[in-house]
Structure 1
Amino acid sequence: MIALLLSRVEAGGLERVQFNLARGLVDRGHSVRIVAGRLEGAAPCVDEVHFIAPSGAWQFLWRLLGWIRRNRPAVIVTTSNDVAVWVLLWRRWLYADAEVIVTQHLAISGPRLAARGVRWVKLACIRWAMARLLPSADAIVAVSAAVAADMRAELGLDGISIDVIHNPIVAVADAAAPDLPCPEAWPFPRDGVPVLVFVGRLAPEKRLDLLFAAFMQVRATLPVRLLVLGAGPIAAQLEQWRQDAGVGIDCRLMGQMQDVLPWIANSDILVLPSDYEGFGNVLVEAMQCATQIVATDCPSGPAEILDHGRFGQLVAVGDAAALAVALRRSLDGSFRVERDALLARSAEFSIDRAVDAYERVFTAKEERVPPSFQR
């Protein structure tokens, strides 16, 4: 059995990636179990998850040990840093025969540098433990080359192999994404006014303040509308900005959507103004939909996904004016990536390709038994 571990399940990109990976592995004949602590909010596909800790994180850490001892998975894949530390700390005594694969989905440096107070102390402690325990993993996987480089710099992993496996996003069934019909809940008139769309968690690091400022700058000279899909801690603040600016129907906050592809496919530009990302799944989803892209050149995924600006515009982090200029260039057609090029690029992030890479990692255990655990 292959166990994919999630500390919690919510309607986010990490969850979609794990569901895609699990289904791809099952299609290849593997036995797979997604094991998670608790469910937060509404999330799709929860019937595919084995929940073990509805009370929270500490309950999950203790109950996970018992679950592993009872079920004896051959492969354990971690997705969060604190869980990776816990699994590696106890593996020698409790489940030494299991293959432990640590996957890194977010740059370590971004959240650490942005944190303050107790959260900074927590992240610093986890970073210290990771530097000492990750070399004992059977394999380390980073979702982008930039995340791998960040891991080496943050954890001192020079000489330790890190496999780069891009997130599994595109399935064969998604090939018709550019032609998806307009959602029934579409809030705007179909009058030819271009639509900017943001899809993601409404959190400070996503820099919705920059997006809103750039939208207002563009709106001063061009007709344009803004569509925001997602939920998070700054949702109320964003709604207040919308009301204060008096943009009315030209800016709509639609909340969390389980299937974002029809919304992206019927928008003109996908905007990702983050301070940092681990990968940027929504960029691949936009390319699936042949939708133009403007993103900040932030750590760690956008430049890699967009091939340093070939498949979408990259602008400086934190610069609303530069973001507005890039949006105008896409709107007036002075920068445009052709449909076929976007679709071909999105296919490089297929589920099949990711599963191929993970299978190679799983079967390479005999060739790299960590020295500290050789028997």
Structure 2
Amino acid sequence: MKIDLVTGNAKGSYRESVSNKVNLIDFGVSRLLYSMPFLASYLWKNKPGTVLSALDHANIANALLSRLLTPKTKVIVSVHNSLQAGAPTNKMIPRLVNLLNRWVYAHADQVVSVSQGIRDQLLERYRLDPLRVTTIYNPLDIEFISKLSDAPSGNEWLDHSDLPVVMGIGRLTEQKNFELLIRSFSLVNERLPSRLIVLGEGQERERLERIIKELNLEKDVLMPGFVANPFAWLGKCSVFVLSSKWEGLPGVLLEALACGAQVVSTDCKTGPEEILEGGKWGPLVTIGDQHGLADAIIEILECEEPIDTRIRALDFSKERAVVSYFEIITRGDE
């Protein structure tokens, strides 16, 4: 099977992870809209048997151009976030994307959801044929993650810790709701001296830093931005916390499990409840519940018998995902 990885712009930290067995095609443009002529040319010239895309705009481009230029191409689109995040609003662009998505999902050969919760939302909102909607979890390279998690983090709090360390990771945006984590940590710190580390960058950094200052937490909270090996940090924290308002299937929660971290999560409409099997692998807290999140964190920090969360991570291995994707790509082939 010949595989082309087609991207609008191949810059980024993940480029080095692409296998040399994959033919990387880089259009070198800054926005997906600018890549449309290049994608049309690629499809017309190569006439691929299958095109698999991810996320709304790429899914729309894939379906529209494939159906127009290479109607025999099998179109597979994948949905990676809760439809709550893309619900219709009064703004023109989100409403247009939602209308286009309705056409895309109806005309794709297969729709992949990264969680059962997203699949349920797709079936309910768009009335799709259940046989054309398949759940395939985002894959984990467990062996790779485990190896990196054993490395030193280079952070004094983690490598030579005398206090528990709470950790959050993600883009500093409204969705990830790090304000909730910071305010909950303030309550935790009053009852149980500890520290908080938040890895990631984003538009809410200044606002979050103001909240940290208002709560007099400057000495107890660290926001170092992106780090080269977050798995080394995850493998040494006392508890990882996902504080999001919504998710699809949060990869960072899966990675925390693969690192053996104890976890707490908000109970988003899709993702965390499915990953943690209703709280079996870590507490689930109502979204926005500051006191409930603080109580759950303390419960984990005071627990004398931690759960081996790596057991659950095995259910999301890359081997399982590869088999599932191969099955839908070859489905119907003679």
* TM-score with structure 2 setting the length: 0.91
- Cα distance in 2 between the residues matched to 1:190 and 1:204: 32
Q: Which residue does 1:343 correspond to in 2?
A: 310
The alignment partner of 1:168 has SS state of coil
- Which of 117, 120, 128 pairs up with 1:146? 117
2:22 corresponds to 1:51: no
Q: Which residue does 2:172 correspond to in 1?
A: 202
Q: Which residue does 1:181 correspond to in 2?
A: 151
- More deviation in 159-168 or 277-286? 159-168
| 1:177 Cα deviation from its structure 2 partner | 5.6
Measured against aligned partners, the alpha-carbon deviations of 1:325-355 in whole angstroms (never above 9, x if no partner) come to 1011111117x5422xx11210111111100
- Cα distance in 2 between the residues matched to 1:38 and 1:173: 25
2:78 corresponds to 1:103: yes
Matches within 5 A, 1:196-345: 196-333=166-303, 337-339=306-308, 342-345=309-312
Measured against aligned partners, the alpha-carbon deviations of 1:169-203 in whole angstroms (never above 9, x if no partner) come to 1333334466x133124456724200011111111
- Cα distance in 2 between the residues matched to 1:228 and 1:36: 30
- Cα distance in 1 between the residues matched to 2:145 and 2:210: 36
Q: Closer, same or farther in 2 for the Cα pair 1:100/1:186, shift >3 Å?
A: farther
2:96 corresponds to 1:125: yes
- Cα distance in 2 between the residues matched to 1:183 and 1:319: 31
Q: Which amino acid aligns with 1:332?
A: E
The alignment partner of 1:130 has SS state of helix
Q: Closer, same or farther in 2 for the Cα pair 1:63/1:265, shift >3 Å?
A: same
2:327 corresponds to 1:360: yes
- Cα distance in 2 between the residues matched to 1:145 and 1:344: 20
Q: Which amino acid aligns with 1:321?
A: H
* Paired positions, count: 329
Unpaired runs of at least 5, structure 2: 19-23
Unpaired runs of at least 5, structure 1: 1-29, 368-375
Q: Is the contact between residue 164 and residue 301 of structure 2 (CA under 8 Å) also seen in structure 1? A: yes
| 1:87 Cα deviation from its structure 2 partner | 2.2
Q: Closer, same or farther in 2 for the Cα pair 1:130/1:187, shift >3 Å?
A: same
Q: Which amino acid aligns with 2:73?
A: A
- Cα distance in 1 between the residues matched to 2:124 and 2:231: 35
Q: Is the contact between residue 297 and residue 315 of structure 1 (CA under 8 Å) also seen in structure 2? A: yes
Q: Closer, same or farther in 2 for the Cα pair 1:50/1:90, shift >3 Å?
A: closer
- Cα distance in 1 between the residues matched to 2:287 and 2:17: 39
Q: Which amino acid aligns with 2:75?
A: V
The alignment partner of 1:295 has SS state of strand
- Cα distance in 1 between the residues matched to 2:57 and 2:184: 37
The alignment partner of 1:43 has SS state of coil
For the aligned residues, what is the CA RMSD? 2.2
- Cα distance in 2 between the residues matched to 1:129 and 1:191: 51
- Cα distance in 1 between the residues matched to 2:330 and 2:122: 24
Where does structure 1 differ by over 6 angstroms across 4 or more consecutive aligned residues? Answer: none
The alignment partner of 1:141 has SS state of strand
Q: Which amino acid aligns with 1:264?
A: L
The alignment partner of 1:312 has SS state of coil
| 1:45 Cα deviation from its structure 2 partner | 1.8
Measured against aligned partners, the alpha-carbon deviations of 1:180-233 in whole angstroms (never above 9, x if no partner) come to 133124456724200011111111011111101100011111111000101111
| 1:159 Cα deviation from its structure 2 partner | 4.5
Q: Closer, same or farther in 2 for the Cα pair 1:65/1:258, shift >3 Å?
A: farther
Q: Which residue does 1:26 correspond to in 2?
A: none
- Cα distance in 1 between the residues matched to 2:215 and 2:201: 21
Measured against aligned partners, the alpha-carbon deviations of 1:302-335 in whole angstroms (never above 9, x if no partner) come to 011111100111000111111011011111117x
| 1:153 Cα deviation from its structure 2 partner | 2.0
- Cα distance in 2 between the residues matched to 1:184 and 1:59: 41
- Cα distance in 1 between the residues matched to 2:129 and 2:324: 22
* TM-score with structure 1 setting the length: 0.81
| 1:157 Cα deviation from its structure 2 partner | 1.7
2:103 corresponds to 1:162: no
Measured against aligned partners, the alpha-carbon deviations of 1:66-114 in whole angstroms (never above 9, x if no partner) come to 122223322211102222223222323311222111111111222326x
- State, as a whole percentage, how many aligned pairs show the same letter: 26
The alignment partner of 2:168 has SS state of strand
Q: Which residue does 1:137 correspond to in 2?
A: 108
Q: Closer, same or farther in 2 for the Cα pair 1:38/1:184, shift >3 Å?
A: same
Q: Is the contact between residue 312 and residue 337 of structure 1 (CA under 8 Å) also seen in structure 2? A: no
